[in-house]
Amino acid sequence: MLATGLGLGADSLRIEVVEWVFWHFRAEVFPMDKSMNAILIHNDDNVVTTTELLQAGSVARYQKDEVVVEIVSREEIPKFHKIAVADIEKTKPVYKYGQLIGEALENISKGSHVHDHNIASPKEKS
């Protein structure tokens, strides 16, 4: 909308696409349902962010589209940290915001804590 206002012509489409990717989570995620305790920012993500401390064996509950997804945490996950919602093989990408945030340093099982002990910047490793 802004792009059109500025008369950027062909560029505006590109900007709109980025806007969608970027702000997708705003409309979809917030305001979030109070019964949820984790947030999936983008559907391509293989991690979600917890909104409370999860003990090992407790359930992380997040919304994907209209569906509530539950995963059991394999270990304690601190508040606002990440939990894997899929198995991530060693060297494979980790996605948050629909974007690459790092690569797995080891095989990470679904339900595990994902942090600097098991992921790193892609550049750091090269």
CB 60 within 8 A of CB 54: yes
- 3-state SS assignment for residue 99: strand
Mark the segment that binds other proteins (CB under 8 A) among 55-63, 64-72, 76-84: 76-84
Q: How far is the CB of 83 from other proteins (least distance, A)?
A: 11
For residue 78, cis peptide bond before it (omega within 30 degrees of 0) = no
Q: How far is the CB of 54 from other proteins (least distance, A)?
A: 12
The yes or no reply on residue 30 touching other proteins (CB under 8 A) is yes
The yes or no reply on residue 82 touching other proteins (CB under 8 A) is yes
Interacting positions 96-115 with other proteins (CB under 8 A) = 96-97, 99-102, 114-115
CA 73, 87, 21, 28 torsion-angle sign? negative
Please provide residue 71's backbone torsions phi and psi, each rounded to the nearest 5 degrees.
-135, 145
Nearer to other proteins, 30 or 67 (CB): 30
The yes or no reply on residue 85 touching other proteins (CB under 8 A) is no
The yes or no reply on residue 119 touching other proteins (CB under 8 A) is yes
Residue recorded with tokens 């064996």: 57
